[in-house]
Structure 1
Amino acid sequence: MNQRKTVLILGGGIGGQTAAAGDAPRRHAQRNSSSTVKKNPAAVFRPIGRVEDGVIRVHRDWAPGLDGIEGFSHLIVIYWLDQSHEPELKLHPKGDRRIPALGFLATRTPHRANPIGMTVVRLLKRRGSRLWIEGLDAWPGTPVLDIKPYTRKDSIKKFRIPAWVKLLDQAETDPLRRYAS
């Protein structure tokens, strides 16, 4: 399989540099850390596709791996946030100053130490190597790393969320982007 590769170079801090064949490298978070990975200086991700407007276009070589996926109503999409930048360690969720500044790991900001995104989406239809989906919060061109069917075992019945999440949801008009409801 001749695949475009997105390379994450680990070393010199958390994060690294990403590049895909033919793409300009993008600099990501560079923080000094005692937990820097030293055994394996690079991890190579092979994107299976890219995001388009409302569609995931899977690379032709990976298309046979989609067989049977149309039987599922929802999918888990894992993707590389290639347009992300270094996270602020503390921030107001969605910039809402009514909410106290929180650590970025306690929020859903796309700016992460390791910019990996994951979203549960509704599968509308499949045609060949294209998946029409609803609810993906990724930019067009975003590399898709993996797609998994959403099953009952992925659902958590009882969970806890802080009150500030409900405050954010009051302003959200898209029900797929609400956290609490």
Structure 2
Amino acid sequence: MPTTMFPRMAARLLFAILLGAGAGAAAAKDTQLRPWPAGQPTPALQVTGLDGKTWNLAALRGKVVVVNFWAAWCGPCVDELPVLGALAARDGVVVAGVNYKEPLTSIQKFTAAHPLPYLVLRDRTGDAFKRWTPGVMPTTIVVDRRGRARWRTVGEIPPDDTQLRAAIDALLAEPAAQRSHNQK
């Protein structure tokens, strides 16, 4: 390959990277709440609390749960903390922030600097992130009272968001799940 082609190829590659980064930033601002993918069952969510104990989403049946996958190094994750804090203050709603693969000491340092008014959990292996998200952070999933994933938003939740709040309101208005004969 002639040496004059290399700088041109490098410049094109850099342009493509910068263009892609700009598109990603634009997409993050245009996040939308979408239904959980049709035909995709709700995966189990069993992760670890900061206390080292196992935590299971199934234990929260009867409540609307907002599961947020985040990391301290993720700028949009940090920017949406006030939105998640406001959701956690609502009756009947539990917010669970699931940290992606960071060491416990890093999470503790972050939460000391940014007190989170909701449950903070650890996905130590990244397996839950792989099962629940399309691989983008932050991703937020709304789970109904029966434990079914119903809505997902990929990217930062904007402070003026109304879609997520409306979806949560609709789930809170649904009647609680009926017990089956086997649960009596």
Same fold, TM exceeding 0.5?
Answer: no
So what's the TM-score if we normalise by structure 2? 0.21
Q: Which has the higher contact order (CA 8 A, sep 6+)?
A: 2
| Larger helix share, 1 or 2 | 2
